């Protein structure tokens, strides 16, 4: 992928903005926690580079909060230190080298200080200061009443949290908070600051431009955020990614193109982050309204990736996967002249993977059924005929690669949920 370069922060900021836009109780939670955490880190006099690392961890800290149950827990002022989402957040990020520090901070972001007894992790290493800061910042945000004015929050938050200082929170972090709590700007920052704008110089200085395998690793990590929400789709993105790559290879495109399609496959359903979990996981038939909301996910994929300079081609290939050649797809209703070969490959890869997977209401389909359905859509002018022929003349190879990738990924998913390390 010699020609594709992206700035990691473009991706993080665009994605977390989308995540924070979801209308549930935690709307803007990660944004506010970031604002609180940065003010605390500055108050503690931490080095700028460390503050930057903490800022990224704070922005991403709840990416593992995938289930309804866990999200409900997050909105109550509990001091439970066993939240599964911290471990899942770690599992999502740990393979992306640039975010190793953030993965570790997120792993411990609900750890109790226990008067210093928990200062070291199970490997004997110092728990990063970022974890202690994010923990307090997170509970400050939950202790606030967001229907009330920013400057009315001080007593409410201090009343709720002060009895837990020392037992739950790191004393240096508490000291910084106590001093900040006396200053109006701290409370105003929580609601009105935007770290990515306010600290744009710091972003420019430390954010890294990545290419090649690093883009593959980053997109794979982000695909877990979507896939880990539901056991039935827990490996969907890697299935689409693998079959799209195989079709691209068999269609005669070079390795660089195959890698781009691999990335596009990982990112194709990214916009599902905006779809409420209650709809995604609904047990039973969807209403028309709910169907429309789910169908909007490719619009949101397009929107998120549009802010990432360098991903223009990959964005189109990822985001057009529910379009159809006759213009009957969604959300753009593009016709054949606007749907290039890569977009057509992605349409097929998504359908193949989805049909082969189990769903709550049906088992995964066999070749006969898959071929029957795809052939119908080809005859109806919806899918590319030549690519469908390519798929079915190499079905065992393509489907075999897909299946193996999904089976391996499922082991990682099970490990992420159980908090164990994935088998090598």
Q: How many residues sit close enough to Fe ion to count as binding (CB under 5 A)?
A: 3
Choose one: 92-100, 264-272, 273-281, 395-403; the region binding Fe ion (CB under 5 A).
Answer: 264-272
Minimum CB separation of residue 402 from Fe ion in Å reads 16
Whole-number CA gyration radius for the chain: 23
Minimum CB separation of residue 30 from Fe ion in Å reads 7
* 322-339 per-residue burial string, b: 16 or more CB within 10 A, e: under 16: bbbbeeebebbebeeeeb
Q: Of the two residues 138 and 399, which places its CB atom closer to Fe ion in the complex?
A: 138
**Contacts of Fe ion in 60-89 (CB under 5 A):** 62
Q: Which H helix or E strand runs over 7?
A: strand 5-7
Q: Of the two residues 104 and 210, which places its CB atom closer to Fe ion in the complex?
A: 104
Minimum CB separation of residue 237 from Fe ion in Å reads 10
Q: Of the two residues 43 and 138, which places its CB atom closer to Fe ion in the complex?
A: 138
Choose one: 45-53, 135-143, 161-169, 226-234; the region binding Fe ion (CB under 5 A).
Answer: 135-143
Q: Which H helix or E strand runs over 210?
A: strand 209-211
CA gap 416, 66 in Å, rounded: 12
Minimum CB separation of residue 400 from Fe ion in Å reads 23
Which residues lie below 8 Å from residue 233, measured CB to CB, with a gap of 6+? 226, 227, 269, 357
Running DSSP on this structure, what letter comes out for residue 362? B
Q: Of the two residues 259 and 301, which places its CB atom closer to Fe ion in the complex?
A: 301
**Contacts of Fe ion in 283-342 (CB under 5 A):** none
Q: Of the two residues 346 and 388, which places its CB atom closer to Fe ion in the complex?
A: 346
Q: Measured between alpha carbons, how far is residue 162 from residues 112, 136, 166, 185, 309 in Å?
A: 14, 11, 9, 21, 45
Q: Of the two residues 251 and 275, which places its CB atom closer to Fe ion in the complex?
A: 275
Minimum CB separation of residue 248 from Fe ion in Å reads 18
Choose one: 34-42, 99-107, 132-140, 144-152; the region binding Fe ion (CB under 5 A).
Answer: 132-140
Minimum CB separation of residue 52 from Fe ion in Å reads 20
Q: Of the two residues 62 and 399, which places its CB atom closer to Fe ion in the complex?
A: 62
Q: Are 314 and 4 in contact (CB under 8 A)?
A: yes
Ordered DSSP codes for 398-416? HHHHHHHHHHHHHHHHHHH
Minimum CB separation of residue 138 from Fe ion in Å reads 4
Minimum CB separation of residue 272 from Fe ion in Å reads 7
Q: Which long-range contacts (CB under 8 A, 24 or more apart) does 39-42 make?
A: 39/180, 39/186, 39/189, 40/133, 40/136, 40/137, 40/173, 40/176, 40/177, 40/180, 41/130, 41/133
**Contacts of Fe ion in 24-63 (CB under 5 A):** 62
Q: Of the two residues 214 and 238, which places its CB atom closer to Fe ion in the complex?
A: 238
Q: Does 20 bind Fe ion (CB under 5 A)?
A: no
Q: Does 269 bind Fe ion (CB under 5 A)?
A: yes
CA gap 144, 284 in Å, rounded: 36
Q: Which H helix or E strand runs over 390?
A: helix 385-393
CA gap 383, 46 in Å, rounded: 56
Q: Of the two residues 310 and 331, which places its CB atom closer to Fe ion in the complex?
A: 331
**Contacts of Fe ion in 138-167 (CB under 5 A):** 138
Minimum CB separation of residue 23 from Fe ion in Å reads 17
Residues of this chain that bind Fe ion (CB under 5 A):
62, 138, 269
């Amino acid at each position: 992928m010699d020609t594709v370069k992206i700035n990691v922060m473009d991706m993080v900021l665009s994605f977390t903005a989308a995540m924070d836009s979801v209308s549930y109780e935690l709307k803007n939670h990660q944004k506010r926690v970031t604002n609180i955490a940065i003010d605390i880190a500055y108050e503690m006099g931490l080095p700028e580079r460390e503050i930057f690392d903490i800022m990224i961890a704070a922005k991403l800290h709840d990416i593992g909060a995938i289930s309804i149950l866990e999200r409900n827990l997050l909105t109550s002022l509990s001091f439970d230190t066993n939240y599964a989402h911290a471990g899942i957040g770690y599992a999502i990020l740990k393979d992306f080298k640039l975010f190793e520090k953030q993965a570790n901070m997120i792993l411990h972001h609900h750890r109790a200080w226990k008067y210093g007894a928990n200062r070291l992790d199970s490997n004997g290493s110092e728990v990063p200061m970022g974890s202690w800061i994010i923990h307090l910042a997170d509970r400050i945000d939950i202790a606030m009443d967001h229907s009330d004015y920013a400057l009315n929050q001080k007593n409410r938050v201090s009343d709720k949290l002060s009895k837990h200082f020392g037992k739950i929170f790191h004393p240096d972090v508490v000291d910084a908070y106590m001093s900040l709590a006396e200053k109006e700007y701290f409370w105003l920052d929580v609601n009105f600051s935007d770290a990515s704008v306010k600290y744009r110089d710091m972003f420019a200085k430390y954010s890294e431009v990545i290419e090649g395998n690093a883009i593959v690793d980053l997109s794979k990590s982000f695909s877990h955020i979507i896939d880990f929400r539901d056991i039935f789709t827990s490996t969907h993105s890697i299935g689409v990614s693998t079959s799209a790559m195989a079709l691209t290879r068999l269609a005669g495109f070079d390795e660089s193109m195959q890698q781009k399609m691999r990335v596009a496959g990982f990112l194709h359903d990214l916009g599902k982050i905006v779809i409420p979990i209650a709809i995604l996981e609904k047990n039973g038939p969807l209403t028309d309204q709910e169907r429309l909301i789910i169908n909007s996910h490719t619009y949101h994929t397009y929107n998120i990736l549009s802010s990432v300079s360098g991903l223009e081609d990959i964005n189109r290939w990822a985001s057009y996967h529910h379009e159809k050649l006759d213009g009957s797809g969604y959300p753009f209703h593009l016709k054949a002249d606007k749907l290039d070969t890569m977009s057509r490959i992605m349409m097929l890869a998504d359908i193949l993977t989805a049909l082969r997977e189990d769903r709550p209401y049906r088992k995964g389909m066999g070749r006969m059924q898959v071929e029957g359905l795809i052939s119908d859509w080809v005859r109806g002018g919806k899918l590319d005929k030549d690519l469908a022929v390519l798929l079915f003349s190499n079905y065992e190879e393509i489907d075999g690669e897909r299946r193996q990738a999904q089976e391996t990924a499922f082991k990682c998913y099970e490990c992420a949920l159980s908090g164990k390390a994935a088998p090598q």
